[in-house]
């Protein structure tokens, strides 16, 4: 008998429990991963993108002329919020290229028009100096806007959307349309002191449609084209959605790591290594027990198993082991896969 065969192994449950090592590192890692997940969830709940600026007050005054054009005064109270980028200019969307700049405030150093072949129009307003975080700037510009009056079935009307801001929330807005005493109707919220008035507040990417109708006007009209809002978007909400997608991805990745850590901890507490068969534990410290294997092979031989059918016998044994594992430790499926792999390796050696 070889020397190795004289070595006595203590496979009692008490000895195995004594030698097993508590997976302290995995427990700590699992706790850290859970904390990180909670932080991600809190980030998703409370994250709110900060705009570069806020418009404290946005007012528009529209006064129709007899020729159908509109005198439009835009007035802003604007506060920059970004500490790294001062406010040097803003651009204001215009309804169409048929306009003339009439006047603007003294703190605007110059005005530049921009009209492209796709119909996008705006004016760039450059200020006399840089305005930094915490400063509040009041400025205004007045234009005469043409090609706005439409006619349909004898009804004369205007549809006008004052410039909106995709990245800047508006704390307070008020849009005024002068009532000259003629027969006029509108979708305004109320009328006061000779004005039709729309007011409230708007988030980034919101706009208001001003619809005003007249019974009859002696002025040139243009073909009606419905307002297309394809360029209207809430950039702040888009940033938030991107942030949520990123954090959800991180949560999923952390969850995958948690599964492995949790499996280790559960294996320790449930004693997956204490599944017995033929008088021996099937696994010791997570590895197949060779004494169990030998006892299993002897049992197969004593019941008439043929030497040439080792792999098939191993598969049958796996089914029995899985049944036992299901009853003892709840890990039958994984145990069956591990035992199948081990038997195939042993047969091929």
H or E element that contains 30: helix 24-46
Any domain includes 286? yes
Any domain includes 280? yes
Same structural domain, 113 and 221: yes
CA atoms within 13 Å, Cβ hemisphere of 25: 2
How much is the pLDDT for 195? Answer: 94
Same structural domain, 180 and 290: no
> 153 phi and psi, to 5 degrees?
55, 40
How much is the pLDDT for 295? Answer: 66
Domain enclosing residue 288, as ranges = 274-349
Same structural domain, 226 and 322: no
For the chain, which residues score pLDDT lower than 50? 4, 270-278, 280, 282-286, 305-349
User: Could you tell me which of 58, 65, 238 has the C-alpha nearest to residue 163?
Assistant: 58
How much is the pLDDT for 293? Answer: 63
> 208 phi and psi, to 5 degrees?
-125, 135
User: Could you tell me which of 79, 317, 62 has the C-alpha nearest to residue 194?
Assistant: 62
H or E element that contains 16: helix 13-19
Report the alpha-carbon distance of residue 276 to residue 18 in Å, rounded: 17
Domain boundary among 216, 233, 250: 233
Report the alpha-carbon distance of residue 146 to residue 97 in Å, rounded: 8
Same structural domain, 144 and 208: yes
- Which CATH number belongs to the domain containing residue 111 in this structure? 2.60.40
Dump pLDDT digits (tens) for 222-247.
988 888 777 777 777 766 777 778 87
Same structural domain, 221 and 280: no
Q: Is the dihedral of CA 243, 245, 246, 248 positive or negative?
A: positive
Same structural domain, 77 and 179: yes
pTM: 0.61
Structure tokens at 187: 């979708």
How much is the pLDDT for 155? Answer: 86
Any domain includes 44? no
Domain boundary among 233, 262, 288: 233
Any domain includes 249? no
């Amino acid at each position: 008998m070889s020397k190795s065969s004289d070595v006595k192994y203590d496979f009692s449950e008490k000895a195995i429990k004594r030698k097993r090592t508590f997976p302290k590192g995995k427990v700590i890692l699992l706790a850290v991963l859970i904390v990180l997940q909670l932080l991600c969830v809190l980030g998703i709940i409370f994250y709110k993108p900060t705009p570069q600026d806020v418009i404290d007050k946005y007012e528009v005054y529209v006064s129709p002329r007899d020729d159908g054009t509109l005198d439009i005064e835009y007035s802003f109270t604007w506060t920059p919020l970004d500490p790294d980028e001062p406010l040097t200019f803003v651009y204001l969307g215009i309804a169409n290229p048929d306009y003339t700049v009439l006047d603007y405030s003294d703190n605007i150093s110059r005005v530049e028009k921009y009209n492209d072949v796709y119909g996008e129009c705006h004016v760039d307003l450059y200020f006399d100096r840089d305005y930094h975080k915490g400063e509040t700037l009041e400025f205004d510009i007045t234009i005469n806007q043409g090609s706005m009056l439409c006619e349909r079935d004898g009804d004369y009307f205007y549809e006008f959307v004052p410039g909106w801001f995709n990245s800047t929330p508006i704390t307070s807005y008020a849009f005024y349309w002068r009532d000259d005493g003629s027969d006029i109707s509108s979708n305004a919220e109320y009328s006061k002191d000779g004005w039709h008035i729309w007011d409230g507040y708007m988030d980034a990417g919101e706009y208001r449609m001003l619809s005003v109708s007249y019974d009859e006007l002696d002025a040139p009209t243009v073909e009606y084209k419905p307002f297309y809002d394809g360029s209207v978007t809430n950039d702040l909400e888009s940033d938030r959605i991107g942030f949520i997608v990123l954090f959800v991805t991180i949560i999923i990745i952390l969850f995958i790591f948690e599964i492995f850590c949790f499996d280790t901890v559960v294996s320790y507490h449930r004693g997956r290594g204490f599944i017995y068969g033929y008088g021996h534990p099937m696994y010791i410290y997570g590895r197949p027990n060779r004494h169990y294997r030998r006892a299993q092979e002897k049992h197969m031989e004593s019941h008439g198993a043929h030497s040439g059918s080792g792999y098939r016998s191993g598969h049958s044994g796996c089914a029995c082991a899985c049944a036992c594992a299901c009853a003892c430790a709840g890990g039958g499926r994984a145990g069956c896969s591990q035992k199948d792999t081990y038997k195939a390796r042993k047969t091929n050696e």
